[in-house]
Amino acid sequence: MRILRTEMPVGLVVALLAGAAAGCAELTSKAGLVEPDDDGGADSDSNSDTDADTDVDTDTDTDSDTDLDTDTDTDTDTDTDIDSDTDTDTDTDTDTDTDTDADTDACPYECYTTALCALAGEVVDGYTCPDIGDVCCAVGGTDSDTDTDTDTDTDTDTDTDTDTDTDTDTDPPCTDPPPDECLTADVLMDYEDVGTWNGEECEYDYEAVACENGCEGGVCVDDSCAEVDCDTPPPAECIGDVQQTFYAPGICCDGVCSYPHVETNCQFSCFLGACQGCQIGDNAAPAATASTSGGGTGSVGPAQLNNELLEDTCSFCWISATSEPADAWMELDWLAPQTLWGLWIDTTHYETFDCPFADGRALAGGTIQWWDGLAWVDDGVVSDQSDDWTYQFTAPITTSALRIYGVHASDLGEVTQNPIVYEWEVYACE
């Protein structure tokens, strides 16, 4: 990968300064000769001073600043460009015009001096005073006019242009290593999942792994399935209302068998790996009357079988029976026929229990029977149970009585007789 970096900062400043100064005009004054009056004591002077000062100051300051910054960055890494242009233009124009006019009015008798004519006929500066005993020349009149014009023009222009350009371009991620390969017949090249960028391409480290059973096709040969037979598929299961049924033979991978399966969409519902003949409804047992062949009475009698109190309450009924099926039974009777799907028994665990007197007295099973109006009909047999268990009728049944005949205790617990039942639930079809 090539790295290209381009920078073009351009600063352009144009300043134009212009000034004009005013000129000065010189003025001249003239006076005429006036004779004295006959009264001998009156003089008349006519003095005219005309001063005209014209000052023209023209200051023209033109500041033009043009800053053009163009930055083009094409980076693979991180570039930060900072361009600072500072333009300071200072224009100072100072115009000073000074006009001074000094006018001295001549004496009436053209005695161009400030001296006095004390006597008639006296000669002063080459001129003979008139034959009068008066002042020949009064003090000369002076008209002085000074005009000073100062014009100062200061123009300061400061232009600061800062351009900061940050361009960040990170290296490409290296997360696509090549496939593992066999370095030798017994060594596997196991590439790291994340590599590093060298400026042109990704590089990946690898670990050399010794293959105990040899290396083939980029993997170590696995012998974990050498003694595994995949001929026992798991029982069917329910995924929602879909039944999955598994078949042998299966396929072994890393010592674990997987089996092909068939999915069946159940018409009503799927429960315990089987499609149900009806939609499972509510528990119908509380509406029935419970009875047993013998055992507990009162607070541990038949009424506790269907009082809707589960194991966490330690409310239970016990039936007199051994660990062998015999003639002990437990029964539910309804006033009207019920269409039923199946049942659930909440009993104690043969080994782990919290309620007093449980002692591992799990109900292991019995024959499930229903009354057809004339006799008891066997539907199925349950055995070898050591904890809670469920039974589904082979098909939905309609009956007014249900019983489990030949109830017996598990032979795995500390006590192997007189099984206890916390609750007996029976589910109707909707």
Integer Cα distance of 287 and 249 in angstroms:
48
- Look at the block and give the residue holding tokens 């496939």: 179
Claim to verify: residue 215 and residue 338 sit in the same structural domain: no
Residues 201-226 have a mean pLDDT of: 87
Claim to verify: residue 294 and residue 330 sit in the same structural domain: yes
Residue 265 sits in which domain range?
237-275
Claim to verify: residue 335 and residue 368 sit in the same structural domain: yes
Claim to verify: residue 214 and residue 257 sit in the same structural domain: no
pLDDT tens-place string over residues 372-382: 999 999 999 99
Claim to verify: residue 253 and residue 211 sit in the same structural domain: no
In this structure, is residue 244 part of a structural domain? yes
Which 3 state secondary structure label does DSSP give 299? Answer: helix
pLDDT tens-place string over residues 110-157: 444 444 555 556 666 666 666 544 444 443 444 444 555 565 656 565
pLDDT tens-place string over residues 34-67: 333 444 343 444 444 444 444 444 544 444 444 4
Claim to verify: residue 261 and residue 386 sit in the same structural domain: no
Integer Cα distance of 370 and 293 in angstroms:
16
What CATH number has the domain bearing residue 379?
Answer: 2.60.120.260
Claim to verify: residue 335 and residue 255 sit in the same structural domain: no
- Dump strand ranges (E) for 310-362: 317-318, 329-347
In this structure, is residue 400 part of a structural domain? yes
Report helix, strand and coil shares of the chain as percent, to nearest 5: 5, 50, 45
Claim to verify: residue 253 and residue 353 sit in the same structural domain: no
Provide the whole-model pTM: 0.46
Claim to verify: residue 266 and residue 187 sit in the same structural domain: no
In this structure, is residue 367 part of a structural domain? yes
